Amino acid sequence: MFSFFKRKDNNLEVPEWASFFNKTEYSEFIAAIEKYFYKKNVTYTIEDGALATGANDFGFGVLGLLNLAQNCKQNKPGNYKNIVAAHFDSMIRIYTQDKEFADIIGDFEKVKQYIAVRLYADDYIAHIGRENTVGKGLADGLYATLVFDQPESVATIKPDQADKWGKTYAELLDLGTQNIKNKYENYISKELFDDFELWVVTGEHFFTPNILLNMQDHPQLTGTYGSLVGVPHRHAVIMYPIESIEVVKVITNLIPTISGMYREGPGSLSPGLFWYKNGLLENLPYDIVDNTIQFKPTENFLEMLNSLGSEE
């Protein structure tokens, strides 16, 4: 841990949470943060990827740094100061916006346009408390929850807020799913991956993984036996329609790709491999040990593989 106004050593060791940086990049990242908060006259400490601020009038409290760091990593160090400033300036605008939004939050007619559904990792939901959300599990590792999608922010909708609107949770989830479908566009393309063809879904917004809630609109993404699915981060979904035993070879190549995209972010969602079939999503567990993939298919998936093998 270190604190502003006290740190003098610019040759920082890169912590585990930011291991994608080299020393120079991490030092530039921290320097950009220092410059920003110095101008705001706000003290802070950083520990384990979280920045905790001292007293301030900007609404800053404890702020996660992982997504910001991942965004910087994908740019040149010379751009870090602008990226950091834009990120925290946005948070100040969000703070002001949220105070104004609080005045209308109980009026369904005024807020219904902002109701949305967003996919999160189970770890994140556990952190904020599932009891503080309105949502549903999609598979082991993925959870769909109600949020307010405002121009500058996405905020979780709490049960006590939703209860005031006189709607069932199912109705609200349907509304949130439809709002995102109407509001945001995804780009769907077929890409050559090694010797296999995959479907890649991308978007510049936070809701690209929501395509999993509207698969009936995209029949090309699902094979006779379902599809392999990866949702490494909020901007990308990878799908492989299953038609033959070739899927076994695809799994070996796809797992490292999903895992790598998850580590890179930004907006990391899940390193998991999933199987989509008949409207259901099932986690297909695996481990990577000493650069060796240990795939642990479920009984349902094994049964499907056996049926494919018998057709060869």
Range from 18-22, 77-81, 94-98, 282-286 carrying the lowest mean pLDDT: 94-98
Question: Which of 50, 42, 232 minimizes the C-alpha distance to 142?
Answer: 232
| Total of domains in the chain | 3
Comparison of pLDDT for 76 and 98, the residue scoring more: 76
User: Does 226 share its domain with 292?
Assistant: yes
Q: Which residues contact 304 (CB under 8 A, 6 or more apart)?
A: 225, 226, 242, 277
User: Does 130 share its domain with 92?
Assistant: no
Q: How many CB atoms lie within 10 A of CB 95?
A: 16
User: Does 144 share its domain with 196?
Assistant: no
The domain boundary residue, chosen from 130, 162, 183 = 183
Q: Which domain holds residue 222?
A: 187-311
pLDDT digits (tens, 9 = 90+) for 235-255: 999 999 999 999 999 999 999
Burial 277-307 (b: 16+ CB within 10 A, else e): beeebbbbebeeeeeeeeeebeeebeebbee
Mean pLDDT rounded to a whole number for the chain: 91
Q: What is the pLDDT of residue 10?
A: 54
The domain boundary residue, chosen from 121, 149, 183 = 183
Q: What is the pLDDT of residue 312?
A: 55
Q: What is the pLDDT of residue 303?
A: 93
The domain boundary residue, chosen from 42, 67, 101 = 101
User: Does 193 share its domain with 307?
Assistant: yes
